[in-house]
Amino acid sequence: MKIIPAKTPGFVKTLFPKFVWNINTSKKELYLTFDDGPTPEITEWVLQNLKEYNAKATFFCIGKNIESNPDIFQSILKDSHSIGNHTYRHLKGWKTKTKDYIGDVELTDSVIAFQVQNSKLREYTNSKSLKLFRPPYGKFKSKQSNKLQKLGYKIILWDVLSYDWEKSVSEEACLKNIIPVAKEGSIIVFHDSVKASRNLRYALPKVLKYYSEKGYVFKALSKETLE
């Protein structure tokens, strides 16, 4: 059941101005994001679809999934996508002590750093100076968000939520949550997970095709876009 609207209302953004909801631009640029991976088969399928449109994206990865699927994570890096932190165990912030929550986030950072260090790539689009974080479920305690921001994290939320993971949302409804709602600078949320795969496989290729034909480019979040 949808409680949060697919398109984030403007007044919500004004209530939390320190979070990143969209990129302020008049250019035809969209920012696809994928939560909860890397996931066998599904993440590889996403990468292939992105490659067909020369599209870049940002993957908010779960630490334990990176450890379980290091080769897939390396493929994300190889394709020059950006990486964000989505906690190590997909924690519910409101049910977790702040100290434990921060520790879980930092553990994921160490996992990411290890993978980057062991990558054969000479450079990585997400430099050490760029720390992206998205809270699982889009919710956490104010103490947790304040602490993370003090540690230098950019809190990335969204302008458009696909609801791809929601079983009650049909494939067509998932697509309509994005087209034609997304516009210049929109940050769009998908999930490269088993739970979301039905709607994801239907909607993502159509979103890529629709907006590409309208002259949009798909970009990864970067230090430049967030300044």
Domains of the chain: 10-226 (3.20.20.370)
pLDDT number for residue 119:
79
Q: Give the containing element (helix H, strand E) for 149.
A: helix 142-150
| pLDDT tens for the 227 residues of the chain, in order | 456 899 999 999 999 999 999 999 999 999 999 999 999 999 999 999 999 999 999 999 999 999 999 999 999 999 999 999 999 999 999 999 999 999 999 999 999 999 998 876 655 555 445 899 999 999 999 999 999 999 999 999 999 999 999 999 999 999 999 999 999 999 999 999 999 999 999 999 999 999 999 999 999 999 889 97
pLDDT number for residue 83:
96
pLDDT number for residue 127:
46
pLDDT number for residue 128:
47
Strands 153-155 and 131-133, sheet pairing:
parallel
pLDDT number for residue 2:
53
Query: What sign does the dihedral 110-141-151-161 (CA atoms) show?
Result: positive
pLDDT number for residue 130:
81
Q: Residue 21 in contact with residue 8, Cβ under 8 Å? A: yes
Give the CA dihedral 148, 154, 155, 160, nearest 10 degrees: -170
SS3 state at 22: strand
pLDDT number for residue 3:
65
Apex 219 CA angle, 29 and 174, nearest 5: 75
Q: Which amino acid is at 116?
A: V
* Ramachandran angles phi, psi of 155, nearest 5°: -85, 115
Closest CA to 57 of 74, 26, 35, 90: 35
pLDDT number for residue 227:
79
pLDDT number for residue 208:
98
